[in-house]
Amino acid sequence: MLENPKRYTITAALPYTNGPIHIGHLAGVYVPSDIYARYLRLQGKDVAFMCGSDEHGVAISMKAKKEGITPQEVIDKYDGIIRQSFLDFGISFDNYSRTSSKIHHDTAQEFFRKLYENGKFIEQTTEQLYDAKADQFLADRFVTGTCPKCGNEEAYGDQCEKCGSSLNATDLINPKSTITGETPVLKETKHWFLPLNEYDTFLREWVLEGHKNDWKSNVYGQVKSWVDGGLEPRAVTRDLDWGIDVPVEGAEGKKLYVWFDAPIGYISATKEWAAKEGKDWEPYWKDQDTKLVHFIGKDNIVFHCIIFPAM
């Protein structure tokens, strides 16, 4: 742990633009991170406090279908509402960006392309759940069913919000499409997977040993349970019509998984801020003398503490 870092990069979890923020979000993430940033600034520290709207993924598509509008109209509507809430509460972000921005699309695609070119992905054709009535593959949040680990009958295809288990949609018992209510069938599709199992040693050392005393106890406990339980490859692409295009040949019609691109939003927000301020963004993310502090919600843990570090 850095005792006296040269600079601080502080991130607050990107609010999802399918609805307004509420008091729980403010109390859990945004007010504490704002207090911390202000405290460091008062000490004369070099601080970059980053946030932005998280604007891709299935829930945006679901909201658009429900409201009879386009995904772009959904994100524009809620981005405006959320920004006004932060202004009303006086939250002092150095930059509040959007993952729909060009700089973010370019940065996320660059991340994927670099990993792809370095042979870090597993390209695999698998069977995915498909809604024949809606004529589309079902992304995680378009599927609900019974959690195989705790029996919760309302688990989502990516996570059970009762026991916190990370899931694949095909793990669910008695899956149902949230679009039509039909029972989906399995159909072949190609995706790219990040082999998290190959980063077991790194994550164990970094999370469980090297930074053991830095984590809140619930974060440490959850990460330890995932690592001890055995990490598996995780798909970083989806069959969707809303999101960032997968930038490689043979990936037409596929988008980056929202939780692959969302944490990169902290980096693209820093790039955007640095360009406006005439600064160099790289030390805030690449320098050993920088301390990175994430303020997150309990359902964000696996993405910030397992997937993002592995990426």
**Residues 225-273: tens digit of each pLDDT:** 999 999 999 999 998 889 999 999 999 989 999 999 999 999 999 999 9
pLDDT over 70 (residue 84): yes
Q: pLDDT digit string (tens) for 264-292?
A: 999 999 999 999 999 999 999 999 999 99
Which domains are assigned to the chain?
A: 7-107+261-310 (3.40.50.620), 127-186 (2.170.220.10)
Nearest one of 286, 304, 287, 285 to 296, comparing CA atoms:
304
pLDDT for the residue 57: 87
Q: Helices in 145-245 by DSSP H: which ranges?
A: 200-203, 217-229
pLDDT for the residue 91: 97
- Alpha carbon distance 271, 24 (integer Å): 29
pLDDT over 80 (residue 2): no
- Alpha carbon distance 222, 192 (integer Å): 26
DSSP E strands, the chain: 7-12, 46-53, 95-98, 122-131, 136-137, 143-146, 155-156, 173-177, 185-195, 233-235, 237-239, 254-256, 290-295
pLDDT for the residue 1: 64
Q: pLDDT digit string (tens) for 155-179?
A: 999 889 999 888 889 999 999 998 8
Q: pLDDT digit string (tens) for 47-72?
A: 999 999 999 988 898 889 888 999 99
pLDDT for the residue 146: 96
- Alpha carbon distance 137, 255 (integer Å): 13
Would you tell me the crossing angle of helices 258-277 and 102-117 to the nearest 10 degrees? 120
Q: How far is CA 295 from CA 37, 49, 137, 209, 249, in A?
A: 11, 11, 33, 21, 36
Type of residue found at 154: E
Query: Residues 117-128: what's their mean pLDDT?
Result: 94
DSSP helix/strand/coil, 192: strand
pLDDT for the residue 166: 82
* The overall pTM is greater than 0.75: yes
